[in-house]
Chains A and B, each alone.
Chain A
């Protein structure tokens, strides 16, 4: 099929058939504000922030739902559009209570970009929602009903564990049947959190200090801005999900993944997203140990431990030969780590007895 030609902000461009105006703008480096859009979801057209002007059209159209057509002339930014978007944001900010949820968030950032300091009005506030699960926090008071979470759960996870119920005054997003996340079909993947633009859904802080005591799980929201992010790869299965370890005060406090990134496109499962408490668990080994004459393991220095490792292995090698020594490399470690394991086996000990559970 031939390319579609159109005018975008005074520039003639060509795009593939079926490209939306939002995608075309993105491909040409033009940012159009959106709130209800996530590339992982079907176009929705709910928030109306991506409204653009198309010559000849009787009213502005949503860029996320409008497919490019030949000879269209499109303006993505104008004073009128700016005012229109500011009005939309003003309405959304009316129902968004800033004292709950994560701040800053995408909605608040867009409001600031549109010079919206104080919303024109504040009305009723949605009832709070308390949930006993350790991972996902939900503050309906911050929600703007964009349904990104509900749509993620339906379209991407296909779990349908969240629902948009009621109309008008009584409309609310909630876990299906207003049950706990633990008692629905929810798989605790945190995809709803990753797509929420208001911080209404958030990661409960994994490590909470209560006085001197450090408690795992169940804490309050922690904004991205408070954390330092380090891009890495998940430690669980072999999919290789790219994620960001969010650290604060030398601890991993949450895990996020940017939309579209990695083989996972920003999606994670419950383990990659939330099961990282083991990193700072008090059961972690912190000192080298050697077995004493009493048969128990005792703390020792690194020098002593390393010397005992060398002496023990050299002893077996002398008595029984290098092939009496076997190495089990870990499929959890890095390539660089395990390269050195087999190099020790082969070059330092002199055996090819090196394997791992990669055998299966």
Chain B
């Protein structure tokens, strides 16, 4: 997030796209609800009629996978009607002409034909967003989990840049992160091209710093991304996995194919708190680890705030903390990375990473600090790009519509999109073990429009067989006007109906993120 969570409640316009915030980030949604009570404008772009969509000034109910036409259409209106911040564009952006030429291809009337949002509504949304000073964009995986995820983000960043809605209080571009420490995991260098603190492995000076500090000559060859590692199982370039707290045979797309890869591996280690499906079927060694309540350290939240996590109970039985396990694994491999002392390890991170140098446990015992925080007197950074974009000038991109990897056809006429529900979390290994969550929501369901349900001849709660080119699952029909005819939606949480048996491994070519959000399926009553 370029802004802080607390800034949301002071926004005068919230443009929420590809985020069902009240269910996936309920507590961030409380800030949005607060802004709504104050009278802030709300624009929601989502294929589903979510809570926020129902309370929005405008609900842009687009077809999944058509974000770029919608966003280019809005940019078109902004330029056509002279609503842009010309001063910001002239002084603080580059590549405007190329961007404007690309946008020129998308008058709202053309965009409307592709994305399904009426042209008049696209115009109105553009006006509201462009003419409100404190206008923030909020998005999540509905933007990124597409074949053109990177370009979707660029299209959003374009809108913020041409209106100057960035680098100010309550105005910015805000991805809401999905997991407790997904931000920190990347910050700490769990990335094939970046060392901790976003220092590149192919930058000789930065690599040298780490090689010296760790006393090992490190490889300057960028590693494989997650999707490339998955592919590497099939061509034998990857023979071993060390998997921590993940269940790839549930969470990766096109699961049947993934499982064939796992069957070929020489050696698999799983470190987890439960026996995951991946561990049960493919692990050679399973290491019992700890959940958040059993360990100390830090998590970094969506607003870049490093906060203290504290141990309150012991791990069960002979399970151990992840840190102890990892340090013992390092030792077994002949490397001594020190004692199990999270504070000392954080200090090592801070010493090696200028972005975090000023953050130390003593400063975050009460309230966490937001990076960048370069020195111990720095108060942390509330919002990014103040005064000017961090890279100097904001780069405007020419982006164009990329059709989804698969589109509805005669054989698979319905678009399936997936997501998280309020009562479950990802593969649901935790929430399915909570009686209260199960009581509220236990069986896999699919949201289907009344029209489609009638055409299929199914009634509420009836079992449906849903098939894609890759697999099939059985789900219960939940008939609702939350989705348009031709679009169905299901949660990704169910072991007995794994949405990822259906999803394709089409992916964004630049970063390899799978297109979880668009799958062509067909449905028929089960049995």
- The residues of A with any CB-CB pair to B shorter than 8 Å are 133-135, 155-158, 182, 187-189, 216-218, 228, 230-242, 245, 247, 250-252, 262-264, 267-272, 274-281, 283-291, 297, 302, 305-310, 312-316, 319-320, 322-360
Contacts and interface: CB of A to CB of B under 8 A. Distances in A.
Interface string B384-407: 000000000000000000000000
Given A309-B332, A355-B225, A342 B312 contact: no
Contacts of B516: 360
B89 interface: no
A305 B25 contact: no
Contacts of A351: 219, 223
Contacts of A158: 33, 36-37
Contacts of A238: 25, 176-183, 301-302
A299 to B, nearest CB: 9
Interface in B278-329: 279-280, 283-289, 291-303, 305-314, 316-320, 322-323, 326-329
Nearest to B370: A263
Given A188-B440, A283-B275, 17 more contacts: A134-B435, A216-B434, A237-B178, A238-B178, A239-B5, A278-B433, A283-B274, A285-B289, A309-B242, A309-B269, A312-B240, A337-B297, A337-B323, A344-B330, A355-B226, A357-B251, A359-B227
A231 B178 contact: no
A326 B185 contact: no
Given A250-B313, A351-B219, A233 B308 contact: yes
A276 to B, nearest CB: 7
Contacts, number: 464
A326 B224 contact: yes
Contacts of A133: 436, 439
Contact of A271 (B238, B314, B326, B431): B431
A335 B181 contact: yes
Contacts of B274: 283-285
B498 to A, nearest CB: 16
B490 interface: no
B423 interface: yes
Contacts of B242: 309, 313, 325-328, 341, 344-345
B196 interface: yes
B27 A334 contact: no
B283 to A, nearest CB: 7
**Size category of the binding interface on chain B:** 35 or more
B428 to A, nearest CB: 10
A262 to B, nearest CB: 8
Contacts of A135: 436
28 contacts: A158-B36, A233-B292, A235-B291, A235-B293, A237-B180, A239-B301, A242-B307, A252-B312, A278-B429, A283-B433, A285-B288, A286-B316, A326-B238, A327-B242, A328-B244, A334-B181, A335-B297, A335-B306, A336-B345, A339-B188, A341-B244, A344-B329, A345-B242, A346-B195, A347-B214, A349-B333, A352-B219, A360-B141
Given A342-B196, A358-B185, A275 B303 contact: no
Given A310-B329, A315-B266, A290 B190 contact: no
Contacts of A271: 423, 425, 431, 437
Contact of A275 (B6, B314, B437): B437
A286 B36 CA distance: 47
Interface centre among B196, B223, B226, B243 (most CB of A within 10 A): B223
Interface stretch (B61-69, B80-88, B334-342, B449-457): B334-342
A285 B319 contact: yes
Given A340-B337, A358-B185, A333 B422 contact: no
Given A233-B308, A312-B267, A134 B332 contact: no
Given A235-B180, A335-B184, A274 B436 contact: yes
A291 B435 contact: no
Contacts of B243: 328
A216 B436 CA distance: 10
Interface in B194-252: 195-196, 201, 210, 214-216, 218-219, 221-227, 229, 232, 237-246, 248, 251
B169 interface: no
A228 B145 CA distance: 42
A308 B180 contact: no
Contacts of A218: 435
A125 to B, nearest CB: 28
